[in-house]
Structure 1
């Protein structure tokens, strides 16, 4: 199959996914008769990869760099999946290279008869070559359609492979995909070392002895900076997240990650940092790790299998491709748990490879879940007080998924993906297999006579029905909560000082700490587009409270009412009355505490505002230094925002010989500033500083809120004690 791409320079490109050819057709200005085969340029193998890397790895920024790393790691994970490896090591070196090692069988070192090349060279230089295609080496595997290792080699300025097999250590090195030898200096290997390509034939060198019986593979490579910009870097956090996920999905596999780069802002900034990951509970442990809320059900494990027939092209003895019907087996492994919240967290995998955009396995999971729960709700309609007449109260998918945390994994040979990057599973029969397994396993629990499972089933159906009714109510009230109606309603809190503008994108809502600061803020604001809502003291910690308690709290209810977009699952960001929410609290510890409580409210019940980057924290100053002018020069004011910054500022003034008044004003609250000062430092868009609140890593944010604001005291105490040594004492407000 050929896929085409037209470039801005008049060149049309076709990529053949079957044979790894990149064909160019250069546009000509003459007639179509002059457009002949001489205008075509053919790039074969790895040359095509280097010319159009985006066709293989998506992008050449940090995402593409990480994608290459996943390909090498996935090869090692495939060994573990097959029961051949128990440990994988990953090292991020200071010279920007990365090493991946495993104790698997080792890449074959003997000669592959068709090409006459060693197994190592075949794997790293030939597209669509490896142990995943013959059917005898891996029952289930990942990798980028089998082109992963060779693509990474093509996009590396240098790649070294070492294999331990048969009591020997073999090595082969490559320069931008071409095999050869490097003359490395005593300082160590690198892509800048002199390179000599092989002339007549390639050589897999024996460089040492390996302990008897030991097999292993080690790959070290340097990403080619002709392909990847210097700004593209390996993300330690992303790597650890993926590694942890893998060890959940492959029970018993240990993966050790070591960071030697010393990058600022990473755990290894003060020296090499190493972490080890190993789990034995499989998908159930993964669900327990991901689940953010109080459980409604226990973590249920659903397992099953099914088979299907598939027609695939097979190479016959004459070298011809002929269609043949083959039997495929599909194993299903699912762990799930419902909680008291309303957020849904479903992770799907094929052969432990993440499919973030889902596919047929996820569709089957959702269909099976909806079918079996809908059937049980209808069967218990009278007990649940559900009206089934004319579909008045009918369970929908979102009702079932609310509060659900699940890990859906399928294992099968030769999975079909939509696109090279494997984000969507396309194998059709998998949908029905997964759906059947889910229906059967969930039904067994919903109809169980065991006391604990019977209680969980009852709680689950009650929750689903409650979600259904909340959805129906929200739908009926949706138009009422639209901005137009919200602006026209007379039920807004009396303490709201609203703005005149109807432009949502331009308007800002300042949540102000205390009534005393409100008076000054009214004088400092631009009433055209800045609205003010005062809150009294510390609002309710919603992480510890129920939804009903939150709604009964006057301050929480006022914020939800003023924003006009609802809360929880019914929150509609399109109905929000303001483009920005700005928390304006004092610059002391109490102010920070109030901001934390507000953030908890926004994250727990108005999360789309946080995810859209529409929640901000104002940054009011903590001190004002009055610098004495000289001559006709007037006194000027310098604002500082921490004790450390104040110390630096005073040292600079002393060094410059500038005098300042010794009585430095320290603002205990916003109300101590006059209107001009508040406008200049905190409210005027031309001068102020705002901190945008983001939640790029949802799991980490969930765990942080639960740890710091939740009901369980012991983990919070452990966290505070463990981190005490890292505390910046200058930031303590005494």
Structure 2
């Protein structure tokens, strides 16, 4: 009996494993018996044997990667463990155990991890948001089956300024997204804007919230399962099935609209966060425009505290960014002024990783660094204009 869905890309997985192994053993429990066969350098050493009786079912494959093909045959336990955990999240109720029995890595006792998640994708979102401050209490989750396709989605906003949307097709991580993510994004943007307008959480004359505004701080998992997945791109990490977009868009529209109506308090929190992101986006654009105008009007202006070097050749020039005037004075006294520049900035600079772009661009220290580097920012960024090739 064939599987309804498969996580493989090409249908040749076990054949390729055998082709790249010096030795491989297969043990299968089915039809009341244990069946075994061994391979050496890709060829069976004997016929398939029908051995002892059993009521169990399952398959065990043991292989030894061929050292004449692979430069290294040492496996990273943490990499494999992360993949097993991800698979358990994507298949709620499934238990997966991974054991590392290599004494050179584990000592006397093997390392054993078991993964089991009754809430599946909701547990996945909870795991990803564990160290973050949630913007609303509940994890939104829903699922639906259609003709030859099903989808599960879980999501929650947090107070960060970046989105973390992970998509899967038949448990394969589609890192480049694809049609299922397109359908989700379209529905999400439409639903949030419609709700914001209906509840008058956005002023009548204001523009709609953009997709980026709405997804700021969003953690979401989108998992589709379908009979004939079409993967695109060189790395096969983008889903191309057109039916996935319309199906995911319809399901997200229906379930998310219902959730917003049943949870008005949390829905308002989500729209409020999107509104804050929109205001920051507008402020950032204004700050960038101001920076661009200042650059055009004062093209020869450099930060007042910058002690520039004499060289006009970027590849030979270097700049030292130091904390405070005192350090700046010492550095200036010991530099070679021909090719070494010194830029003192006030201590404890803004943490740009945790700040919105509008606040970053208004910061005096950041402005000094941007001006000194000469590359511009955002759409006007040009690495060819970098004034120092060593920073």
Instruction: Give the TM bin, normalised by the shorter chain.
Output: 0.7 to 0.9
Change (3 A) 1:288 1:270: same
* Secondary structure, counterpart of 2:6 in structure 1: coil
* Secondary structure, counterpart of 2:231 in structure 1: coil
Please tell me whether residue 243 in structure 1 is matched to residue 54 in structure 2: no
Shift in Å at residue 241 of structure 1?
Answer: 2.0
Alpha-carbon RMSD: 3.7
Structure-to-structure mapping, 1:597-608, within 5 angstroms: none
Shift in Å at residue 251 of structure 1?
Answer: 1.9
Please tell me whether residue 344 in structure 1 is matched to residue 174 in structure 2: no
Shift in Å at residue 402 of structure 1?
Answer: 1.4
Please tell me whether residue 209 in structure 1 is matched to residue 52 in structure 2: yes
Please tell me whether residue 306 in structure 1 is matched to residue 157 in structure 2: no
Q: Which moved more, 1:464-473 or 1:435-444?
A: 464-473
Change (3 A) 1:481 1:209: farther
Please tell me whether residue 468 in structure 1 is matched to residue 278 in structure 2: yes
Please tell me whether residue 523 in structure 1 is matched to residue 329 in structure 2: no
Change (3 A) 1:226 1:294: same
Contact 2:99 2:111 in 1 (8 A): yes
Change (3 A) 1:430 1:542: closer
- Number of the residue aligned with 2:363: 557
- Number of the residue aligned with 1:160: 25
- Number of the residue aligned with 1:52: none
Change (3 A) 1:146 1:271: same
Please tell me whether residue 143 in structure 1 is matched to residue 8 in structure 2: yes
**Distance between the aligned counterparts of 1:551 and 1:423, measured in 2?**
34
Aligned length: 379
- Number of the residue aligned with 2:374: none
Contact 2:89 2:120 in 1 (8 A): yes
Structure-to-structure mapping, 1:50-89, within 5 angstroms: none
Change (3 A) 1:154 1:530: farther
Structure-to-structure mapping, 1:187-266, within 5 angstroms: 203-206=47-50, 209=52, 212-228=54-70, 230-231=71-72, 233-261=74-102
Contact 2:318 2:388 in 1 (8 A): yes
- Number of the residue aligned with 2:202: 384
Please tell me whether residue 409 in structure 1 is matched to residue 223 in structure 2: yes
**Distance between the aligned counterparts of 1:508 and 1:441, measured in 2?**
56
**Distance between the aligned counterparts of 2:108 and 2:294, measured in 1?**
54
**Distance between the aligned counterparts of 1:480 and 1:232, measured in 2?**
56
Change (3 A) 1:474 1:145: same
Shift in Å at residue 273 of structure 1?
Answer: 3.2
Structure-to-structure mapping, 1:691-710, within 5 angstroms: none
Pick aligned residue for 2:124 from 286, 291, 295: 286
**Distance between the aligned counterparts of 1:271 and 1:524, measured in 2?**
57
Shift in Å at residue 284 of structure 1?
Answer: 0.9
- Number of the residue aligned with 2:135: 296
Shift in Å at residue 504 of structure 1?
Answer: 6.8
Contact 1:498 1:531 in 2 (8 A): yes
Deviation per CA, 1:24-73: give whole Å up to 9, x if none.
Answer: xxxxxxxxxxxxxxxxxxxxxxxxxxxxxxxxxxxxxxxxxxxxxxxxxx
**Looking at both structures, which has the greater relative contact order when contacts are Cα pairs under 8 Å and sequence separation is at least 6?**
2
* Secondary structure, counterpart of 1:461 in structure 2: helix
Change (3 A) 1:287 1:234: same
* Secondary structure, counterpart of 1:466 in structure 2: helix
Please tell me whether residue 361 in structure 1 is matched to residue 180 in structure 2: yes
**Distance between the aligned counterparts of 1:334 and 1:581, measured in 2?**
46
**Distance between the aligned counterparts of 2:211 and 2:134, measured in 1?**
20
Contact 2:184 2:252 in 1 (8 A): yes
Shift in Å at residue 430 of structure 1?
Answer: 1.2
Change (3 A) 1:140 1:148: same
Shift in Å at residue 286 of structure 1?
Answer: 0.7
Shift in Å at residue 167 of structure 1?
Answer: 5.5
* Secondary structure, counterpart of 2:282 in structure 1: helix
Shift in Å at residue 435 of structure 1?
Answer: 0.4
**Distance between the aligned counterparts of 1:429 and 1:442, measured in 2?**
20
Change (3 A) 1:160 1:178: same
Deviation per CA, 1:342-392: give whole Å up to 9, x if none.
Answer: 2111111112221111111111111111122222334455x433524xxxx
TM-score norm. by structure 1 comes to 0.46
- Number of the residue aligned with 1:718: none
Shift in Å at residue 341 of structure 1?
Answer: 1.6
Shift in Å at residue 469 of structure 1?
Answer: 3.0
- Number of the residue aligned with 1:660: none
Deviation per CA, 1:259-317: give whole Å up to 9, x if none.
Answer: 34567xxx74897533332222210111121235321133211322333xxxxxxxxxx
* Secondary structure, counterpart of 1:334 in structure 2: strand
Change (3 A) 1:270 1:332: same
Change (3 A) 1:503 1:400: farther
Contact 1:483 1:564 in 2 (8 A): no
Change (3 A) 1:572 1:547: closer
Shift in Å at residue 424 of structure 1?
Answer: 1.7
**Structure ID, larger Rg:** 1
* Secondary structure, counterpart of 1:213 in structure 2: coil
* Secondary structure, counterpart of 2:97 in structure 1: strand
Q: Which moved more, 1:230-239 or 1:362-371?
A: 230-239
* Secondary structure, counterpart of 1:361 in structure 2: helix
Structure-to-structure mapping, 1:59-138, within 5 angstroms: 136-138=1-3
Contact 1:348 1:356 in 2 (8 A): yes
Contact 1:522 1:532 in 2 (8 A): no
**Distance between the aligned counterparts of 1:580 and 1:374, measured in 2?**
45
Change (3 A) 1:505 1:581: closer
Contact 2:306 2:341 in 1 (8 A): no
